[in-house]
């Protein structure tokens, strides 16, 4: 039987999938922005070297291939997906910064903003490490292959007024930096990395808070949707899904089970025995449940399984498997559970009618069986 921690982890996995989708959306908007700026550069709206920008754009666009493959062909719930996406964005940021240098210095912040939504400190720190690596690489490559920053080329630390003054005098003599790689690392890469580190420290508090919120949300969701005795979904979740979800499913199969003689068992042998009947039945139903086949406890002795887009005869197969499992339990010396069952299939848009038909079939089965009549 699925316990609380498993339910909680399932909710957290669902939240991670949503975070991956948001990262993919952010990736898309980043590429749209880069494409727009590249096109405006080609038509000379921006006074930027078009050849340099084109190199940056083409190299960045190549990284779209694995991203698109992951979106359409991979399971985005896998733990490695978020690291791959963050790494890809860090690489693109480094590529853009390598060619456009001082024009796009704020691009380094983008991977951190996407990493923070995962609510995990290790993801944030991994993004920082990859980001700083990109800063160092782009600082060095940007000097040689990107748009030149003359402040790095010349050995100067003067203000605008000083430059204007000596230009008005008709001459300007400024020595070149001799150890340019040292200058790039110490006076460009190091300050930018330090700023990113401080930024990450601040984001870390948001990660801690949002992670605690995610745990609380998972806890509330579990208690709101789960029958605590059986660990199956409860009636509130059942009504929510019937109203808001199943009508959008193409076809559904609904199976009703009702434990026979539960009241008589409670009166004759005590509620502990009645609870054992309920838990034994619930365990067998849970064994047949998955993301496509959800089981709900909708009453004291009533259970419903709804199958999304059922395969041919799948509902009957589930009914038989539950029956066989209960018989095996009895044969092994366990408790004997007798139940009435009824099922019906139909369109998801007619879910209410399908439920009524399955419920009627279950009561017809109860009336026709000796145990149901007793």
218 and 303 inside one domain: no
Q: Is 297 a member of any domain?
A: yes
- Is the pLDDT confidence value at 8 over 70? no
239 and 174 inside one domain: no
Question: Across residues 188-196, what is the average pLDDT?
Answer: 83
Residue-level pLDDT at 308: 96
- Total domain count, the chain: 2
248 and 203 inside one domain: no
Q: Rg of the chain over CA atoms, in angstroms?
A: 32
Residue-level pLDDT at 170: 65
Q: Is 30 a member of any domain?
A: yes
Question: Across residues 82-97, what is the average pLDDT?
Answer: 92
Mean pLDDT of the chain: 84
Residues 99 and 146: beta-carbon distance below 8 Å: yes
Picking from 222, 244, 264, the residue at the C-terminal end of a domain is: 222
Residue-level pLDDT at 75: 83
Report how far residue 101's alpha carbon sits from residue 141's, in angstroms, rounded to the nearest whole number: 9
Residue-level pLDDT at 2: 47
Q: Is 21 a member of any domain?
A: yes
Q: Is 227 a member of any domain?
A: no
Residue-level pLDDT at 1: 38
Provide the b/e sequence for 234-249 (b: ≥16 CB within 10 Å). Answer: beebbeebbeeebeeb
256 and 216 inside one domain: no
Question: Across residues 310-329, what is the average pLDDT?
Answer: 92
Percent with pLDDT over 90 in the chain: 37
Residue-level pLDDT at 39: 93
Question: Across residues 44-49, what is the average pLDDT?
Answer: 83
Report how far residue 154's alpha carbon sits from residue 165's, in angstroms, rounded to the nearest whole number: 17
Picking from 222, 244, 277, the residue at the C-terminal end of a domain is: 222
173 and 312 inside one domain: no
154 and 126 inside one domain: yes
Which helix H or strand E contains 342, and what residues bound it?
strand 339-347
Q: Is 228 a member of any domain?
A: no
Q: Is 350 a member of any domain?
A: yes
- Structural domain containing residue 299: 235-373
Handedness of CA 295, 296, 302, 305 (dihedral sign): negative
Lowest mean pLDDT among 115-124, 180-189, 214-223: 214-223
Q: Is 230 a member of any domain?
A: no
Q: Is 229 a member of any domain?
A: no
Picking from 190, 222, 254, the residue at the C-terminal end of a domain is: 222
Structure tokens at 146: 């990107």
268 and 182 inside one domain: no
Residue-level pLDDT at 285: 93
């Amino acid at each position: 039987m699925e316990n609380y921690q498993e339910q909680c982890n399932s909710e957290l996995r669902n939240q991670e999938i949503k975070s991956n989708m948001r990262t993919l959306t952010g990736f898309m908007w980043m590429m749209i922005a880069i494409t727009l700026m590249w096109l405006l550069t080609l038509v000379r709206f921006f006074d930027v070297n078009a050849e340099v920008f084109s190199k940056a754009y083409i190299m960045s666009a190549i990284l779209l291939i694995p991203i698109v493959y992951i979106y359409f062909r991979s399971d985005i719930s896998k733990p490695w997906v978020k690291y791959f996406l963050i790494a890809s964005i860090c690489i693109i940021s480094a590529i853009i910064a390598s060619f456009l240098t001082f024009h796009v210095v704020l691009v380094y912040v983008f991977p951190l903003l996407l990493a923070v939504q995962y609510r995990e400190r290790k993801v944030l720190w991994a993004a920082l490490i990859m980001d700083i690596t990109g800063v160092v690489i782009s600082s060095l490559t940007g000097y040689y292959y990107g748009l030149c920053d003359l402040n790095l080329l010349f050995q100067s630390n003067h203000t605008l007024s000083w430059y204007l003054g000596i230009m008005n005098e008709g001459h300007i003599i400024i020595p070149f930096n001799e150890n340019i790689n040292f200058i790039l690392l110490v006076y460009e890469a190091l300050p930018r990395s330090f700023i990113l580190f401080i930024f990450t420290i601040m984001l870390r508090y948001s990660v801690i808070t949002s992670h605690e919120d995610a745990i609380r949300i998972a806890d509330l969701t579990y208690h709101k949707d789960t029958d605590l005795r059986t660990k199956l979904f409860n009636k509130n979740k059942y009504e929510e899904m019937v109203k808001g979800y199943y009508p959008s499913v193409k076809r559904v199969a609904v199976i009703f089970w009702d434990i026979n003689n539960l009241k008589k068992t409670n009166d004759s042998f005590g509620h502990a025995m009645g609870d054992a009947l309920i838990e034994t039945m619930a365990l067998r139903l849970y064994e047949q449940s998955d993301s496509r086949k959800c089981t709900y406890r909708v009453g004291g002795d009533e259970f419903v399984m709804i199958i999304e887009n059922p395969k041919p005869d799948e509902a009957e197969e589930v009914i038989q498997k539950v029956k066989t499992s209960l018989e095996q339990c009895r044969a092994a010396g366990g408790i004997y559970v007798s139940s009435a069952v009824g099922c019906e299939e139909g369109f998801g848009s007619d879910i209410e009618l399908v439920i009524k038909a399955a419920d009627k079939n279950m009561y017809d089965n109860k009336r026709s069986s000796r145990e149901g009549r007793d």
